[in-house]
Amino acid sequence: MTGNDRVVRWPTLGFLVGDWIEQHCVIPDGFSAGEPYELTDEMLWFYLSHYRVKPEATRERSMLSPASAFYYRRSQLVRPQKWGKGPLTASQVCVEAVGPAVFAGWAEGGERYDCRLHGCDCGWQWEYEPGDPMGMPWPTPLIQITAFSEEQTDNIYGALKPMIDKGPLSDLIPKTGEEFIRLPGGGRIDTVTSSAQSRLGQRVTFVPQDETGIWTTENKMQKVADTQRRGLAGMGGRSTETTNGWDPSENSVAQRTYEAKVKDIYRDFAKAPGELDYKKKADRRKIHQAVYGDSWWVDLDVIEGEALELLERDPAQAERFFGNRIVAGVGAWLGRHRWDALAAPREVPDGTTIVIGFDGSDIDDWTGLRAETLDGYQFTPTYSSLELPTVWNPADWGGQVPRLEVDAALDEVMTRYKVVRGYFDPPYWESEIDAWAAKYGDKRIARWATYRTVQMHAAAERLLTDVTKASATFRHDGCEDASTHVGNARRSARTGGRYVLSKPAPHQKIDMAVVSILTHEAAFDAIADGLAKPPPRRRTTVLR
């Protein structure tokens, strides 16, 4: 094969794999759903490289450890959003599930790959030339589609199901489930996320790892990657990473893979010339043309519109997502000066209807509680005769948050004010939150997990908008701790144009910023549920 100035001069199963995909896989969605899925030259090149076979490979050795036959132990594909990574990976899952993904020896001439010999009645055959590497399916394929969250695993799994159901593979794989797919020979395809720790350590033959640019030690995905690689080594399996450009300050799995010194990792990273400036429109067009390559379905005018909009609020994220570049994250989430501009301290009388937000820690990060009236005034309550703020720095309490103090403070807040709703982040405080819900009512004490990227991003955006819009009516008490933490908060990019808040350094805390977000979210949810309306007046009938 030649194309894009590249020539294949080594043995590979990639040609067989590519033709098998185009014969068996279909476009999963859109107006062309059900039509044959065709690989671009860039996609085929990735497969030609990933399935490159060592010249010294033997069938006997491959039967013991299939990975030993291949030049690369694992691969990494770095492309911008909307390039087509999800469907491409879905097609690879199909191959690893029921296609010729395992080296089966060298052809002498006249041999064929015949689908009928492998349970597929489509009639397709592929004739080998002398010296070609031959392929065969795994006897018991065990595949884990892995991502940080369920919505990210759907990038692959959501394309995989219709790719099977709407095409020839439906005869071989008659049923695709919502959570897993059973395969011939006792194999299966599962989805795995950061929360599915119980599945780690299981036997695996192939692991597609999606969006590894956001897999870090902090979100436990580095552990997931390490554990899966050990499992693959035991089975002679391999893995593929897909991601767009990453934030180098986060030391992600993708970054570590890319920077690794070992030679048995294939890295396919589309890059535009470094001298092009992403902030300049003409250069940006050239960058998009370079990194989207031969993805003919991508409308670069639409990409330009999306990139331009994102550039206004997060230039680094736009350059990573659409320019496919390694760029450090943008600075402040909100900026202290914008937050401080809305400080307008006032007294909140006892008995006022409020909501509260709570984020707890134990020995490192801070624990805090804030409140908000239903007309948009946020404040840090006080407790005890000393009027202590409901903010606890472990360093001020012998290195550990004083849980009895927190309990007493909450009780005073619940007594002094009419608390109609409270959102509490569960980690480290599950038992206390359960006890508080039993004491005060589960409608007033509700769990609200901040690790949920979609919900946390939306809540952060709500507070950001309500603080920065020209017609802002939101005000706050000027709490110094809250202001400092809001100023510290940084955006940490996630897929889909979303972000979560992160610390710029371990000592720069952001806990009270998170509490402010939870509190504001509780306020708007309470208003949406009608809790800001006064109770209906009772009618009194007087009998004479």
Name the residue among 143, 140, 147, 254 with its Cα closest to residue 196: 147
Residues 349-400 have pLDDT tens digits of 999 999 999 999 988 899 999 999 999 999 999 999 999 999 999 989 999 9
d(CA 502, CA 332): 10
Residues 71-116 have pLDDT tens digits of 999 999 999 999 999 999 999 999 999 999 999 999 998 999 999 9
d(CA 423, CA 29): 39
The structural architecture, per CATH, of the domain 2-269 is 3-Layer(aba) Sandwich (3.40)
The structural architecture, per CATH, of the domain 336-528 is 2-Layer Sandwich (3.30)
Residue found by looking up tokens 């990573």 in the block: 320
In the chain, where the domains are located: 2-269, 281-321, 336-528
Residues 255-264 have pLDDT tens digits of 899 988 899 9
Residue found by looking up tokens 């290195």 in the block: 399
d(CA 14, CA 100): 10
Pairing state between β 377-379 and 367-373: antiparallel
User: 311 pLDDT exceeds 90?
Assistant: yes
Longest dimension (CA), the chain: 112
d(CA 348, CA 378): 10
- Range 531-540 average pLDDT: 62
User: 408 pLDDT exceeds 90?
Assistant: yes
Q: Give Cα 529 to chain centroid, integer Å.
A: 31
The token pair at 98 is: 């029921």
The whole-number pLDDT of residue 508 equals 77
The token pair at 181 is: 């797919």
Q: Name the pTM for this structure.
A: 0.65
